[in-house]
Structure 1
Amino acid sequence: MRIIGYVQHPVWKITVFKTDTRLSVKFEDGLLEQTYKFVQQDRLNALGEVQQLIDQKFILTVERRFREMERHRAEALARHTSISPEDEFDTII
């Protein structure tokens, strides 16, 4: 797998990868990431074609999914972690 380029975005890092059989687009936002994979039959072969694919509607869908992922992550952490006063760090002045 090799990186064939990046798609500019003000917040996310968007990397485009290519292998012999598929092309992958990875969106990174802090601790979260989404990867979309396309096969040769999808007729995406170059960075420019991927840049056209990632239109405003696609970006809005990715953004919505990132919000859902963060919510799920926060809910899971809240269910499985609880900090008692004994676990907190001492205040240093």
Structure 2
Amino acid sequence: SIPYRVVGGFRFFERAEIKDMLSYLCVIHNPQDDLRLLRVVNNPPRGIGAKTMEAARSIAAQEGRSLWDILTNAWQIPALQKAAPKFQKF
């Protein structure tokens, strides 16, 4: 049990850090969960820009693959090779 005290503000499960942690756990359990992956792939900041993520999402949609599959194989995709080391940090 980890003590946690919320004073005013948001309810526990509405807090950004709790949503982020739950998203991380969901991605660990199911890497194909693109929505939660998008929430945490650049959190904490890894220097992955919006244009790069949009390109990755577009490639995933065009190829019928999950975003996780695209990001973990970014070094094989010419449009994402520059960002591949940043994805590896994730």
Between 1 and 2, higher relative CO (CA 8 Å, sep ≥ 6) is seen in: 2
Normalized against structure 2, the TM-score is what?
0.27
Q: Under a length normalisation based on structure 1, what TM-score does the superposition of the two structures give?
A: 0.26
Bigger Rg, structure 1 or 2? 1
